[in-house]
Structure 1
């Protein structure tokens, strides 16, 4: 009985990893954007490059929308071929994986817009949310993602308490690297 449960869980995990692989381009896009934003934060010392952060964000949003549009077309093609993704793992369409993240991003944007989060605390808050996301997905996809989330959570706490002035550069850079690493892990696990 125990062996069949473990086998069933292994098959589900494999299906979940297969579904999560559609998010690889999004992880790359946003990981690169976070790293670019951290580099712009460093470059601001030498000039007014704040417009580059906005350009990077807009570029990442447009690239993400193009990617999501392509995923939508692919899902339609799969449905036409009578391959139902929801039968594989129970998640439904992979696009629903993005819904919690989109809601969290919208919540943070709202909190920043109304001034509930100070400019020094915004990077810490974003890193905490990313860390929680890693832990959440790690529970389904694999323990290394949980460890990655715990590491980022610890780094965010340390930066928030002792090095708040440097948090934008460090946490955006490390968050971007973490996104790229998680994409690499999903790519390797899916083989």
Structure 2
């Protein structure tokens, strides 16, 4: 629902973002996975941690499946599928393409963290259409951070982008939850 009054270049909008609530659990799960994987990756300079990093992926997949099954039982699956069904296929195709390229070693090991971070930043820019200015700022911050790390600190890409990307997903989940607890009017630049 949009209600608005124009004041200069700003438009006050009240958004019903309750559609985003079912997705917050997945943002928490995968944000935590990214953070844990990057923390474990820090120890990779001293010992082999690939098995532990894969364990975080499998745990996140299991937690996601449990959350999906819980949404079937509670009836939120219909809302989850209605809102995200249109965006799910392209997202799954991107994830699958990066996974296949990584599996066949067609890309440099530094490529995947950069691509994931850029895709996440672009996703935040897309979500900003519904969620407003804070996600534009997060999108720009993550895009610039990824660019700076790609140019000057590429060796730390997996650790830094995984950590900051995961924390940003947790922050977005927290924002969606807090905005749904007390509906607020936020200003969105037009």
In the other structure, the counterpart of 1:122 is 112
- Number of matched pairs: 173
More helix by share: 1
Alpha carbons of structure 1 residues 51 and 30: separation in structure 2 relative to 1, 3 Å: same
In the other structure, the counterpart of 1:6 is 4
CA separation in 1, counterparts of 2:105 and 2:32? 27
In the other structure, the counterpart of 2:132 is 142
Unaligned ranges ≥5, structure 1: 80-84, 86-90
Alpha carbons of structure 1 residues 100 and 190: separation in structure 2 relative to 1, 3 Å: farther
Unaligned ranges ≥5, structure 2: 6-11, 182-190
In the other structure, the counterpart of 1:132 is 122
Q: TM-score, normalised by structure 2?
A: 0.81
Cα root mean square deviation, aligned: 2.4
Matched, 1:49 2:49: yes
Q: Name which structure has the greater RCO, CA cutoff 8 Å, separation 6+.
A: 2
CA separation in 1, counterparts of 2:42 and 2:128? 31
More strand by share: 2
CA separation in 1, counterparts of 2:73 and 2:84? 11
1:155 is displaced (CA, Å) by: 0.5
SS in 2 for 1:32: helix
In the other structure, the counterpart of 2:67 is 67
Cα contact 2:142–2:165 (8 A) shared by 1: yes
In the other structure, the counterpart of 1:175 is 165
Bigger Cα displacement from structure 2, 95-104 vs 141-150: 95-104
